[in-house]
Amino acid sequence: MAVPMGWRGLLRVVDFQALLSAQPVVAAALDKAQRASGTLAPEVKTLREGYRLLAKVLWTRRASIQRVHDLAWLDHTVVSVGTRLGRTWTGEDGVRAIDAAERTTTAPVFLELFPREGSIWIEIPVQAFAGISPNVKFELGVSGPVRVGLVPDGKLKALYDATGTAKFDAPPTAVSVLGELEELAAAARRASSPSVALVFAASSFEERAAE
């Protein structure tokens, strides 16, 4: 029997320098989870995939839409859990909240954070190894059930200003999202690092297997 699709979204300040240098953190979490739950546990599988994801991105210096999505969630749930600001939404209420915020402004920077179709590639400086190009290419946009946007350091002020302006005429359903977005943009700006960006990562998924 068909199972209704779920939805989850994440808005998070991500330091890609710290994230892509975090293989030891993920490895330690993986070892702990294996000892506690065994090698076949779902949590162990997820951590193992996260470790491999970091390795692939470091090796290729590229991250597709799906990989940027997974990197943001890996940072939120494992690498920097409890640190740096982030906000999650789930289900239909989350979809409506994000949709309401999107509709409050036509500022180009909003389309970079909340892309609606297609994809583009941007570069973020991440110095992982000496002698290797300091930039990693990230793909942003929409790919199947996955949607990813990213506003890098150089555009955070434009996002902060656009968000502040949009709040004045926003409907009640959008005000809380815009306020959180403004706070997150300010936090990312305070980090004052070219490897820090504000990331939106959302996806639809099957909530459970049918019986």
> Which residues in the chain come in under a pLDDT of 50?
1-3, 208-211
**Strand residue runs (E) in 32-84:** 62-63
Rg from Cα positions in the chain: 17
pTM score: 0.90
pLDDT of residue 207: 55
The answer to whether residues 94 and 9 touch, using CB atoms and an 8 Å cutoff, is: yes
What is the pairing mode between strands 5-15 and 196-206? antiparallel
* CA–centroid distance for 137 within its chain: 15
Buried b (16+ CB within 10 A) or exposed e, 67-99: bbbbbbbbbbbbbbeeebebbebeeeebbebbe
Q: What's the confidence (pLDDT) of residue 84?
A: 66
Give the tokens for residue 136. Answer: 């990693």
Distance, CA of 21 to CA of 204 (rounded, Å): 28
Check residue 127 and give its pLDDT. 76
Res 65: pLDDT = 97
pLDDT tens by residue, 191-207: 889 999 999 999 997 75
Question: pLDDT tens-digit profile of 110-142?
Answer: 999 999 989 999 999 987 655 566 789 999 999
Show the tokens assigned to 63.
């991250």
DSSP 134: S
Query: In whole angstroms, what is the distance from residue 120 CA to residue 145 CA?
Result: 17
Determine the Cα–Cα distance for residues 141 and 190; give it in Å rounded to an integer.
Answer: 26
Residue 58 tokens read as: 């470091």
Query: Pick from 101, 117, 79: which is nearest to 11 by CA?
Result: 101
β-strand pairing of 62-63 with 119-125: unpaired
Q: Do 145 and 173 contact (CB within 8 A), yes or no? A: no
pLDDT at 49: 95
